[in-house]
Chains A and B, each alone.
Chain A
Amino acid sequence: MAKNFPYGGYMGQLLRVNLSNRGISKEDLRKDWARDFVGGVGLTARILYEEIPPKIDPLGPENKLVMMTGPVNGTMIPAASRSSFCAKSPYTRSFFHSIFGGFLGPELKFAGYDGLIIEGRADKPVYLWIDDDRIEIRDASHLWGKDPFTTQDILRSEIGDEEIHIATIGLAGEEKAPYAMILCDIRAAGRGGMGAVMGSKNLKAIAVRGTGSVSVPNMLRVYNTAVRINELFATTPAVQGLSGYGTPRNVAAMNEGGILPTRNWQTETFKGMKNITGEVMREQVVKGDRACFACSINCTKYSVVPKGPYKSVINGADYETIYAFGSICEVDNLEVLCKADELCDHYGIDLISTGVSIGWAMECYEKGIFTKKDTDGIDLRFGNADGMLQVIEKIGKREGLGELLAKGTRDAAKIVGKGTDRFAIQNKGLEWPGHTCRPFPAAAVGYATGPRGGSHHDIRPTAEKSGLVDRKTLEGKGALAAEVNHWLILGDSMLVCHLAEPIWGPLKISDSMINVLNAVTGWELNYEQARKIAEREWNIIRCFSAREGFTREDDQLPIRFMEEPVPEGPMQGSYIPKETLERLKDDYFTYRGWDLKTGNPTREKLSELGLDFAVKDIGKGN
């Protein structure tokens, strides 16, 4: 076990870097907070609740960017390589967690730190070099303006180590574009503008080299647990297929089921689907498979378009790429989708928000709200592949139409007016991923009440869309959404990968998840204890939002989903009317013990969870 730390899996130490005064300090991880919030997102929410005053400017020096690992990272447990970047988001304006896989999280632990807290703002571009105990804030003037992969190449060369792991922003992050992302080696902390927060601090990159290891109380127990989890991955039907096809395995099946969002969600069946499936991708562009640290799933695909106008090399495409640029924009050319993915990485922008914003602009154009004067001369009809790629470039450079779309659909619709908010596919400002809620009530209330809005990692529609529960009834859906919240947030605190959903969930925190946590930490949590941790984590995040002024009224769905039924296909007629959503919210808040009027945790609930300190901020009036 780490020196002076009683629990396995932890390094027992946080690294704090103040870029304003170039202060660097190492501090002990609080044992009580580790026990109460585990790590990752839960622990960061507790830290930021303590350290960030309400109502600050997310792009000001008062905001803090936290990279946090979990106790499971860096052990031999598979699908446990994730790490989180958290901050107050400039995009959703509340606490945001953006999760990424790969190797950077374990590497930070090998360097000796459970997490990294970045404060203040450098007076000129810098990067952070973490080499075990040795920490340096270095000049990054020569990196400013460079794309993420070029930046990584330069850093590996000048540091002289090909195996360091690097988080870096692109041009969009430097420009503080609202949905700028952080590229972490080849994986992305894509959502919520964490790249903009990093850029606001004049921090171009974080490079890490660690040579230590993670200690656990009983190596044989961890080994046996890892073997068991790998067996489950190999034999569980819903995990199979990720190795061969990655997440695009879903494209054809979802289209067949009438749940592939298409044409800016005007429908959920895409006629051009057959050209952009996981199967076609495997045959035409995939050249290899890549895995994250210690993972046996190999879900990342390495794809190459070797020549032609869409020549590109990417780690993808993922399902979300195919959704955001394929079915949403009605582009059925796989090579174009690879190029779109590459451009998003090049500029450092979130591909979901980018694609959905372009889909919104295409609908504006086809409805006559935009003319070519608004689109910089581009004939921006659905299906115009080259036009779509041009607009991605414009968003990356914040030129012309790109300046508007870089704000995201919520703010762009406010500027344009003319009812365009009715087809802005976002809630709480975050554009939606490619997983519908119109036929799925638990998913609907989960999306609406989730801290991030349009994130399929605050809720999973899987139980309803697999038929594990009856999708047509409203009964029990508040409870289902809450228990799905719980396995997700505990997973984001340990930090394990949601792609192994049948193992960690899918209805509630599973025995497998608890077994992993207990094996690594040496704790002996039962289900109720694990659930209480997760509930505490979910409540502290809700408190953060409430303190920022969010209420029940902010728990909405995109207007389209409340007013427009799916027009065709097997899910024809499905939607979530406003009154149904309100009923679901009542059910959810009641199950959670939250105030029905405000949607805030009650004084009693906060006390029950040991969050009494938050009562003064949000408990008034409950």
Chain B
Amino acid sequence: MARVKVKSFSVIRDVLGSEVVEIDVRKPETVGELFEELVRRYGQPFKEKIWDPNSGQMAPFLIKLNESIISSTLDIDHKIKNGDEIAIIFPIGGG
């Protein structure tokens, strides 16, 4: 089990209720498992902010893992560990 801090903004922050929340991630302790846990905890309101209903997969967005940048589409199996800080850099379109 890895306890990580998740930081979010805008509509995702609204669903999580706070800019930073702490989440316990079960094995295999990956980025993908973190988002599965977020869905279990926050349910459909979270899922519809993250999952693309047309593709049935997570939408593309960037994830800041400590000081490095990874992506929801390319790095879903990326390992995370206790104490990691993760920011959901999403959505970043428009403007």
Chain A residues engaging chain B, CB cutoff 8 angstroms: 232, 235-242, 244-245, 247, 249-250, 252-254, 256-258, 277-279, 299, 318-320, 433-435, 456, 460, 462-463, 465-468, 470, 498-499, 501-502, 506, 570-571
Contacts and interface: CB of A to CB of B under 8 A. Distances in A.
Nearest to A251: B9
Contacts of B72: 467
B59 A232 contact: no
Given A250-B94, A467-B73, A570-B68, A238 B9 contact: no
Contacts of B10: 241, 244-245, 249, 252-253, 278-279
B60 A468 contact: yes
Contacts of B35: none
B93 A256 contact: no
A556 to B, nearest CB: 23
Given A256-B64, A320-B95, A470-B74, A237 B59 contact: yes
B20 to A, nearest CB: 12
Contacts of B59: 236-238, 466, 502
Nearest to A505: B93
B13 A279 contact: yes
Interface in B48-75: 48-54, 59-64, 67-75
A24 to B, nearest CB: 39
Contacts of B73: 467-468
B93 A462 contact: yes
Contacts of A254: 89, 92
Given A249-B10, A570-B68, A434 B95 contact: yes
Contact of A250 (B13, B67, B92): B92
Q: Range of interface residues on chain B?
A: 35 or more
Interface string B67-95: 11111111100000000000111111111
Given A257-B64, A468-B60, A570-B64, A235 B53 contact: yes
Contacts of B71: 466-468
A462 B75 CA distance: 17
Contacts of A456: 95
Nearest to A570: B69
B16 to A, nearest CB: 13
A228 to B, nearest CB: 11
Nearest to B49: A237
Interface string B26-51: 00000000000000000000001111
Given A235-B53, A253-B89, A467-B71, 12 more contacts: A236-B53, A238-B90, A244-B11, A245-B11, A250-B92, A256-B9, A256-B89, A257-B87, A318-B95, A434-B95, A467-B72, A501-B94
30 contacts: A236-B53, A237-B48, A237-B90, A238-B61, A238-B90, A238-B94, A242-B94, A244-B10, A245-B10, A249-B11, A250-B92, A253-B10, A253-B90, A253-B92, A257-B64, A279-B10, A299-B94, A318-B95, A319-B95, A462-B92, A465-B62, A466-B90, A466-B91, A466-B92, A467-B72, A467-B73, A468-B71, A470-B74, A506-B93, A570-B68
B89 A247 contact: no
Interface of B: 7, 9-11, 13-14, 48-54, 59-64, 67-75, 87-95
Which residue, of B53, B90, B94, has the highest number of chain A Cβ atoms within 10 A?
A: B94
Contacts of A299: 94
Given A237-B52, A250-B95, A279-B13, A571 B69 contact: yes
Most buried by A among B10, B59, B90: B10
A468 B58 CA distance: 11
Contacts of B89: 253-254, 256-257
Contacts of A506: 93
Contacts of A435: 95
B11 A499 contact: no
A245 B9 CA distance: 11
A242 B91 CA distance: 10
Contacts of B62: 257, 465-467
Given A466-B61, A466-B71, A252 B9 contact: yes
Contacts of A466: 59-62, 71, 90-93
Contacts of B95: 247, 250, 318-320, 433-435, 456
Contacts of A502: 59, 93
B94 A279 contact: no
Contacts of B61: 237-238, 466-467
A240 B93 contact: no
A546 to B, nearest CB: 30
Nearest to A245: B10
Choose among B50, B62, B63, B95 the residue with the greatest number of A CB atoms under 10 Å from its CB: B95
A240 B49 contact: yes
A468 B59 CA distance: 9
Contact of B11 (A241, A247, A277, A570): A241
A434 B89 CA distance: 16
Given A252-B9, A256-B87, A235 B94 contact: no
B87 A499 contact: no
B9 A253 contact: yes
B92 A570 contact: no
A252 B95 CA distance: 13
A300 B7 CA distance: 26
Nearest to B70: A467
B5 to A, nearest CB: 13
A570 B64 CA distance: 8
Nearest to B89: A257
Contacts of A238: 59, 61, 90-94
A593 to B, nearest CB: 29
Nearest to B65: A570
A257 B91 CA distance: 12
A279 B9 CA distance: 8
B72 to A, nearest CB: 6
A501 B60 CA distance: 13
